[in-house]
Amino acid sequence: QGQLVESGGGLVQAGGSLRLSCAASGRTFRSYVMAWFRQAPGKEREFVVVINENGARLTYADTVKGRFTISRDTAKNTVYLQMNSLNPEDTAVYYCAADPSYNGPTAGAYGYWGQGTQVTVSS
């Protein structure tokens, strides 16, 4: 079984930046579609962005377009989420997800999940 481990979360002021990492282990996710989701308290898990196995960024949520960038380092089996111009509405637990194929930007379409990393943006 594979494992996804997120890191890089923390507390940042509005307007600041963070870079999240998702390290895969136990199996190769190099051919998998990788995505980031987030979940704020009392809200459903929300799609953020997805990248395919070739590094093409398939789609971004409108709320993060122009501010967030996903990338992947195949050699390191790691996916990154660069988050700029953060605002308090970005506060959430951020989850990395993976699946062998792209079946849409919904949580149910992904079979592998990390444990999440907390991002808190203060105003």
DSSP string for the chain: --EEEEE--EEEETT--EEEEEEEESS--TTSEEEEEEE-TTS--EEEEEE-TTS-EEEE-TTTTTTEEEEEETTTTEEEEEE-S--GGG-EEEEEEEESS---SSGGG--EE---EEEEEE-
**Quick one: average pLDDT of 54-79?**
90
pLDDT for 60 equals 87
Residues 34-51: what's their mean pLDDT?
Answer: 96
> What is the pLDDT at residue 119?
98
Q: Lowest-confidence range among 24-33, 62-71, 95-104?
A: 24-33
